[in-house]
Homo-oligomer: A and B are copies of this chain.
C-alpha cells in the first residue's frame, strides 16, 4: 500500500478529482533571464487557476534524479518507484499496449546482426527502420511454443516486445544480450529453479525465431532483456478509495495506468479537446480522472521550444471543456521536466498547480510558471504527495487520531 495510513481514513464522497499531466512540462530558459516554455506560453486560463489556487514544484523521484516516464508516473500516482520496481519487459510491453497479467512473463527484444559463426556484429541490427522491422515482427508473431501462448509487438526500429502466457511462468531469467559484440547471444538462463521451465520455453521460442530470421541481411538474430511480470501493485481503489479513469493517447501511459487499476477510456482523436471530451463522456462513472498530454514532452525532446509553447497554449485554450465539468479538485502538473534546451528529460523540479475552490488556501501567485511555482505556498515537495493532497482537497479523508 503506498500510504498505509490512508485507507483507514477514507470517507465516502462523490467529489471528483482531475489530474491533468502535461508530460515533460518543466522547462528552462533558452538564455539567462529568459522565460521557460511554460512562462512564455500565453495561458490566461491556467493563470486564473493559479490566482485562485496554489502553486508549488515537485521532485519527481529524488533530488537530482532524471526520471523515465514509467517511474515518473508511478511517483505521481503515489507509488515510490524506488520501492515499486516495474520490470523493463513489463514497461516496454505495456508501453505498446500488450497486457501483462499476473503470471505472464514479458521481455523486450532487440534485433541484432550475426556473422556466419553466429557471433553478434551489431547489437542493434544497424538500427533498421520501422518499415524493415515490421514484417519481421509479423513473422515472429507466428511462432508457436507448445503449452504457452506468446504475443509480440513492434516497439520502434530494432526494438520489439514479447509477452508469454501460461501456467507457472516465472520471470527470474538473465538477459540473453551479452552486452558486447564478437560473441553469440546467450541462452535464456534461469536465476532460480522455479524459473527454469520458463527459460526453457523462451529458449524454444528463440530457436524458432532464429530460423525465421536466418535469411535477413541485417536482422538475422535477436536478444531478449528485462524478463519480468506484472508487479501486482495495490490498486487505486484499495489505496485511495477512488474509481479512476485514464484518458491518454499513448499506450505507455495507458499501460502504467492499467497497472494501478485504472479504467482505460477509448476515445476518438488525439487533441486536448478530444481528451477533455472523453473525460466528459465518463464523468458520471468515475471520481478520478488522469488526463495525459504527450506532446509537451515530444516537443521538448525535439528541442522545439516554440512548439512546446504552442502545445501548452492549446491545452489552455481547450481547458474550459474540462472546467465546465466542475471538478472539485484540478491539478495541472507534469511528470518531469523536458527542457527544449536539453532535448531530454531532466531532474529539474516540476511546476504544480492545485485548484480546489472549496478548500484552497491561495498564495499570492498569479501566473503558472516555474518561477511562480518556486515561490508558491506548496513549496518544493515529492511528487509522491500528489494524490494525498488531492484526496484532502476533495475532502475524502477523515481526521487522523482523536
* Contact (Cβ within 8 A) A402 B70: yes
**Candidates B3, B361, B363; contact of A28 at CB < 8 Å:** B361
Chain A interfacial residues counted at CB < 8 A: 64
Q: Is the CB of A9 within 8 A of B65?
A: yes
A-B contact pairs, 29 of them (CB 8 A): A3-B62, A9-B65, A28-B361, A29-B361, A57-B377, A63-B381, A63-B385, A64-B389, A64-B390, A64-B391, A64-B392, A64-B393, A65-B388, A65-B392, A66-B399, A67-B401, A68-B400, A70-B402, A71-B400, A72-B401, A345-B399, A348-B361, A349-B377, A361-B370, A363-B374, A371-B377, A374-B379, A375-B375, A378-B380
- Could you tell me the distance in whole angstroms from the C-beta of A108 to the nearest C-beta in chain B? 9
For the residues of A in contact with B, the DSSP-based class is loop
A359 on interface, CB distance cutoff 8 Å: yes
Q: How far is the CA of A32 from the CA of B399 in the complex (A)?
A: 25
Copies of this chain present: 2
Bound CA span A91–B57, Å: 37
Selected contact of A347 from candidates B349, B375, B397, CB within 8 Å: B397
Which residues of chain A (37-95) have a CB below 8 Å from chain B?
52, 57, 61-72, 81-82, 86, 88, 91-92, 95
Chain A 23-43 interface mask (CB, 8 Å, partner B; 1/0): 000001100110010000000
Residue of B nearest to A63 (CB): B385
- B32 with A362: CB separation less than 8 A: yes
Residues of B within 8 A of A145 (CB): none
Contacts of A374 in B (CB 8 A): 363, 376-377, 379
Bound form: Cα–Cα A52–B398 in Å:
38
With both chains docked as a complex, state the minimum distance between the C-beta of A380 and any C-beta of chain B, in angstroms.
4
Known: A32-B362, A52-B32. A65 touches B402 (CB 8 A): no
Measured in the bound complex, the distance between the Cα atoms of B361 and A364 in whole Å is 21
How far, in angstroms, from A91 to B401 measured CA to CA in the complex? 9
The smallest C-beta distance from A253 to any residue of chain B, in angstroms, reads 13
A400 touches B363 (CB 8 A): no
From A389, which residue of chain B is reached at the shortest CB distance? B64
**Residue A342 CB within 8 A of the other chain:** yes
Residue from the set A88, A92, A380 with the largest chain B CB neighbour count within 10 Å: A380
Q: Are A399 and B67 also in contact (CB < 8 A) when A3-B62, A380-B378 are?
A: yes
Tell me whether A389 and B36 are in contact (CB under 8 A): no
A401 touches B71 (CB 8 A): yes
| Complex contacts, A391 vs chain B, CB 8 Å | 64
Give the complex CA separation of A70 and B82 in angstroms.
29
Quick one: which of A335-358 are within 8 Å of B by CB?
342, 344-349
Residues of B within 8 A of A95 (CB): 402
Contacts of A381 in B (CB 8 A): 63, 380
